Amino acid sequence: MSSPIRVVVTGAAGQIAYSLLYQIAKGDVFGADQPVILHLLDIPPMMEVLGGVVMEIIDLALPLVTEIVPTADPTVAFKDVEAAFLVGAMPRQQGMERKDLLSANVKIFKVQGEALDKYAKKTVKVLVVGNPANTNALVCSRYAPSIPRENFTAMTRLDQNRGRAQIAERLKVNVGQVKNVIIWGNHSATQVPDANSATVDLGSGPVPVTGALKNDEWLKGEFITTVQKRGAAVIAARKMSSAVSAAKAAGDHMHDIWHGTAPGQFVSMGVLSDGSYGAPKDVVFSFPVTIENKEWKIVQGLQVADYHKPLLEATGKELLEEKAEAIEVCEH
């Protein structure tokens, strides 16, 4: 057994954390032989609820959990953590776009960036889930200058999983057979789900999804809009935003940071843009990445279809607008 690592989950009394904590506690994220000390951060009015969550984690009777630290104090929550799931933030309601949460949520990520900077391990890997996730990740890293900016990533894995599931359903295959779906840009309605580099294994090795589907119109239209609007569709039905699927995606994302991507496969995540594929620089833009030794690399040389190009431009523009608004909110 390795020695335990400290892992913080913020918004620990909320609905995503409720599912995420189970995955972390049973070893799905950091490995079946990696003990964890769980730091659970929420706000003071939620401490009683958080106490109930702690009782349930104890009652799971999972041996990988060596200690639980529930707190409303960021200085305690972020102390010596090696992995951070920043989930705690207001969720959107029906009729809102995720960027409508910006003014309410972005300051949380400023404060938590400052706390990470002071108290976390410098190698900490930070996954931002709270919306608007890309811009919150950018803000968090700006206020944590002593931690490499590459250590901050934003979650578009739920969109990727949604895209894979849509394709699997369409092809009537198991979702595990579909790989390499890309999400470009912002985790918002402007995101660009792209299956042009995706593969499906129909029994004799991976082949292009485009060839297997033989339906370009669906990939150019309904596929994109279904994935873009899936979060809103769940809210319309559940009156609350996606939770178990978001938690699973957060676990998948951190799992791949920790253990790397499989040969020949890439995953999508919001990372600091270097301008690849014409994206604006210095925003957190979702790209296809491979991961090795806990470091991501943007996959280069993929074909972007002409019909995707204006969409990539629009999602980049939205991220620049969000960045300008976030700086305004944080500095005034």
Ligand X SMILES: O=C([O-])CC(=O)C(=O)O
Ligand Y SMILES: NC(=O)C1=CN([C@@H]2O[C@H](COP(=O)(O)OP(=O)(O)OC[C@H]3O[C@@H](n4cnc5c(N)ncnc54)[C@H](O)[C@@H]3O)[C@@H](O)[C@H]2O)C=CC1
Give the residues lining the site for ligand X (CB under 6 A).
Answer: 91-92, 98, 131, 158, 231-232, 234-235, 241-242, 246
Q: Which is nearer to ligand X, 39 or 98 (CB)?
A: 98
Name which of ligand X, ligand Y, none residue 319 binds, using a CB cut-off of 5 to 8 Å depending on partner kind. Answer: none
Asked if 242 interacts with ligand Y (CB under 6 A), we say yes
> What tokens were used for 111?
């404060």
User: Is there a catalytic annotation at residue 255?
Assistant: no
Which among 187, 253, 255, 308 is annotated as catalytic? 187
Residues 6+ apart with CB under 8 A from 188: 97, 98, 99, 132, 134, 315, 318
- Bridge partner list, 200: 178, 207
Could you say which residues in the range 252-291 bind ligand Y, by CB under 6 A? none
162 annotated as ligand-binding: yes
**Least distance (Å) between residue 234 CB and ligand X:** 6
Q: Taking the CB of residue 258, how many other CB atoms lie within 10 A of it?
A: 17
How many Cα atoms sit within 13 Å of 85 on the Cβ side? Answer: 35
Is residue 36 at the binding interface for ligand Y, with CB under 6 A as the rule?
no
Judge whether 159 is annotated as a binding position: no
CB closer to ligand Y, 118 vs 220: 118
For residue 293, the tally of other CB atoms under 10 A from its CB is 5
Query: With binding defined as CB under 6 A, does residue 15 bind ligand Y?
Result: yes
Nearest CB to ligand X, comparing residues 11 and 70: 11
In angstroms, rounded to a whole number, what is the distance separating the alpha carbons of residues 284 and 307? 23
For ligand Y, which is the closer residue by CB, 40 or 200?
Answer: 40
In which region does residue 112 sit, left (phi positive, over 0), alpha (psi from -120 to 50) or beta (all else)? alpha
CB 182 within 8 A of CB 268: yes
**Which residues would be at the binding site for ligand Y (CB under 6 A)?**
10-11, 13-16, 41-43, 46, 87-92, 108, 129-131, 133, 155, 158, 187, 241-243, 246
Active site positions, annotated: 187
